[in-house]
Chain A
Amino acid sequence: MAKVLMKGNEAIAEAAIRAGANNYFCYPITPQTEVAEYLAKRMPEVGGVFLQAESEVAVGNIVFGAASTGKRVFTTSSSPGISLMQEAISYMAGAQLPCVILNIMRGGPGLGGILPAQSDYFQATKGGGHGDYRLLVLAPSTIQEAVDLTMLACHLADKYRNPVMIIGDGMIGQMMEPVEFPENYTEPELPTKDTWAATGAKGRKPRVIKSLFLDPYKLEDNSVVLYNKYQQMKKDEVRFELYKTSTKNKVLIVSYGTMARICQTVIDELEEEGVSVGLFRPITVYPFPEAALEKEATRKNIDTVLTVEMSMGQMVEDVERAIARRRPVEFFGRTGGIVPTPDEVKKQIKELIKKKHGAKTRQSTTKSKKKG
């Protein structure tokens, strides 16, 4: 299929349809409302279900009910709305229901702003709602990757019977880029849903989709089942990308999403100046590619690891965990909707190289803290 120029939000919406997620529920919020507007037109064309609900609390729970049918369900929102969905997300994780949730992140906390941010990393990867559960979390850095990962998310949600979240900063939603949708899309075979979906107790015992286990032993059993799925994800689903990593690198940048693309520009420019820097870009942020990162970050030539995020420092905690003090981990971030420029990041790297054997611990060098 030929490439088409599409806005991220619309491309993701189309990707969900191509992957068979023909059931979409929403509540408007900037900067992702175009997904809803696109699907309001598109769902009737494909005979799908589109519904704008009264709140994200309702959306989350409508998704819960819809996913109980065994059909593919998709929803999208941005940070404050994702907070309201946490109730349903926790219940769905507990009840082992698949669904795909897109968070086009904006600055927070609170109402924050409407500009791009990556400050919902903790919420997405560490829980967000209550209880012992995880989401599989994917972080695209281009519109094409957003399309591919949306389709993959639909598959993985069914494979693990677990909610899958895609986190993109505002730029992933708002930017236009050429994208290509796969022709004749096929997926590896999935287990049947006929063991758990609510389809009516005809000729079989009634099925209950629930997260309530009043017997503590049964509740623990359920948590163990969930835990084992997360262990399996860690084995089979870790995804990341390396950019210009070599034995010449002095610094390794760790960055994800659009921020990682800006870091690529930084790396290209520094290369011309004779400074060798590599990039480690997690694509799955849960499961976090910790073993691979540890390997890259602890190569002999690497002096320092620099984590760059559009936040006050969230993924950096996973980076520190993976590297376990074997290299200094530095952090640079801007937030509030401010996107770090290549020059800003370059300056950080040059300073790091200058004080090479300096700081052993992480130094947060966000602009705001300096001003502070």
Chain B
Amino acid sequence: MSEQTKTIFSRPEGLQETVTHYCPGCTHGVIHRLVAEVFDELDIRERTVGVAPVGCSVLAYNYFNCDFLEAPHGRAPALATGFKRLRPDMIVFTYQGDGDLASIGMAEIVHAANRGEKFTTIFVNNAIYGMTGGQMAPTTLSGQITTTCPAGRDVSQTGEPIRVSEMLATLNTPAYLERVSVDSPMQIIKAKKAIKKAFQYQVEGKCFSLVEVLSTCPTNWGKTPAESTQWLRDNMMPYFPLGLCKSPDSKEGN
């Protein structure tokens, strides 16, 4: 590299060089990148173990440049608990979708959070089951059309969408919980800060940390990528407000 050129953007070491399987416009890839940048910035890649979910990000281990475990659907927090308890010196994170975490794996995430397990969860909320082709998730919005609620989600039959971060914030155990979005450059910068903070708390051995990331699923929402980010702003953000839900430094959320 000559003295005049300076690299200002490159693939983080935390990511492998490979072709993505995510759909065009899907924000899973953006979230992967943010996590990988944090590995680099905190210099933790070589002692990090990820736990992949069942969902579109089941192949996360093909992208991240660190050791990985592949969990059964919803059980990533249980695997992370077992691993971290035996290797508290390592950095452990789960990467989970909303079906994985808020439906089949609800018990595992609630109890891991309540025990204050010292790992980090990246919770990707796209209000749908992406991988299986667009079925209703616990986070699907009222009236939202999916293949298993073709007339729109009827909350009188299926309940209101679950706000996971707020629910976890009711637990008395200290935790770091923040909801972010990756729909715009400004939000991406904020999301990165939150993800870094979450890992930082883990590095310090402080608490359980979870970052809920509002994410798009253009394919199963039946929208273009641009329409999807707009739909996320118009529909998801009002119901899933962005911001800090709980900080380990204060018992109450805000």
Contacts and interface: CB of A to CB of B under 8 A. Distances in A.
Contacts, number: 126
A208 B82 contact: no
A200 B90 contact: yes
Interface in B198-232: none
Contacts of A199: 67, 90
A64 B77 CA distance: 11
Given A61-B108, A208-B61, A91 B82 contact: no
Interface in B72-88: 72, 75, 78-87
A200 B47 contact: yes
Given A198-B67, A201-B46, A206-B66, A51 B111 contact: no
A201 B78 CA distance: 22
Contacts of B46: 200-203
Given A69-B87, A88-B72, A61 B66 contact: no
Interface in A193-229: 198-203, 206-212
Contacts of B51: 65
Contacts of B108: 54, 57-58, 61
Interface in B220-254: none
Contacts of A201: 45-46, 65-67
Interface string B23-56: 0000000000000000000000111110110000
B54 to A, nearest CB: 9
B69 A209 contact: yes
A65 B67 contact: no
A250 to B, nearest CB: 51
A95 interface: yes
B107 interface: yes
Contact of B70 (A54, A71, A209): A209
A203 B47 CA distance: 11
A210 B70 contact: yes
Contact of A58 (B16, B68, B107): B107
A68 B61 contact: no
Contacts of A23: 85-86
A25 B115 CA distance: 14
B68 A208 contact: yes
Q: Assign chain A's interface to a size class.
A: 35 or more
Contacts of B75: 57-58, 61, 64, 87-88
B90 A61 contact: no
Interface in A96-134: none
A67 interface: yes
A312 interface: no
Contacts of A206: 16, 61, 64-68
A46 B61 CA distance: 35
A199 B66 CA distance: 10
A369 B84 CA distance: 51
Centre residue among B52, B66, B75, B111 by max chain A CB count within 10 A: B75
B116 to A, nearest CB: 12
Nearest to A211: B70
A182 B189 CA distance: 60
A55 B67 contact: no
A62 interface: yes
B188 interface: no
A66 interface: yes
Contacts of A55: 107
B171 interface: no
B83 A198 contact: yes
A49 interface: yes
Contacts of B72: 61, 87-88, 91
A69 B68 contact: no
Contacts of A210: 52, 61, 68-70
6 contacts: A54-B111, A61-B71, A67-B82, A200-B47, A200-B67, A210-B68
Given A53-B81, A207-B68, 14 more contacts: A53-B111, A54-B107, A60-B78, A61-B108, A62-B78, A64-B69, A64-B78, A88-B72, A198-B69, A200-B49, A200-B90, A201-B45, A208-B61, A209-B68
